[in-house]
Structure 1
Amino acid sequence: MAPGKSRQKDSKIGDVAVKDEAALALRKDGSIEIRVHAKPGAKVSKVTDVGAEQIGVSIAAPPRDGEANEELIRHLRQVLGVAKSEINFDKGAKSRSKVIVVSSKQQLTIEQVIEKLKADAN
């Protein structure tokens, strides 16, 4: 391998083989990291794409004064069935690419999260 190049590991999440930069990842503390591509200004809040690198989410709120972020968290809470205190931003509060952390008391698995996100996308 050439110097400066890194090797990405393949892993499997559900039925999808993904690289290190996966849309969903399990953290050491047991929480689940979700990489989201937010699309504010939509008519309805909905998961639009469950991809290998990011989860696309349309948000029925404008991207100002934190309205879209609040709606994104509210919608993901509803889809995943978690409490408000169990879902937070890790990165990207001012960007369309966001990292959200879910630390559910029900110990959701990555497969369960994928199922719930795909159900909302249909």
Structure 2
Amino acid sequence: MPPWLLVGEGRITLKLHVQPNAKKTEIVGLHGDALKIRLAAMPIDGQANANLIAFIADRLGLAKSLVNLKTGQSSRRKVIEVKAAPADAARRLLPDR
């Protein structure tokens, strides 16, 4: 299991390092023990957090309501909880190559 992914009862927890204001939204690899994601959204009025939740939900094929920002509201280091995550969540969240 990758260090950025924790599996629990009916949910997964993702440790993320987020870089807002990037040219495009993408998963780029690891940043320490966290998965690094670049976001095209600005970190203003929760835009980056909303973009992150939508991006994770889309990658996992889930509704946004199943993805919750647990910690890191105003930090680059974030913890996301995903309910009803698919069994292949780690593969779906790997960087595009």
Fold shared, TM-score > 0.5 on shorter chain: yes
Q: Conserved in 2, the CA contact under 8 Å of 1:23 and 1:52?
A: no
Matched, 1:47 2:23: no
Q: How many residues align?
A: 97
Distance (whole Å) between structure 1 residues aligned to residue 10 and residue 33 of structure 2: 20
Deviations 1:42-96 (A, max 9, x none): 1110001146711100000111110110111111111111111110011111110
Instruction: Tell me the TM-score normalized by structure 1.
Output: 0.73
Higher strand share: 2
Q: Conserved in 2, the CA contact under 8 Å of 1:49 and 1:121?
A: no
Deviation at 1:30, TM superposition (A): 2.2
2:86 to 103, 108, 111: 108
Bigger relative CO (Cα 8 Å, ≥ 6 apart): 2
Instruction: Tell me the TM-score normalized by structure 2.
Output: 0.90
Report the aligned-residue RMSD: 1.6
Output aligned runs, 1:12-51, within 5 Å: 13=1, 22-27=3-8, 29-50=9-30
Stretches of structure 2 that go unaligned for 5 or more consecutive residues are none
Stretches of structure 1 that go unaligned for 5 or more consecutive residues are 1-12, 17-21
Structure number with bigger Rg: 1
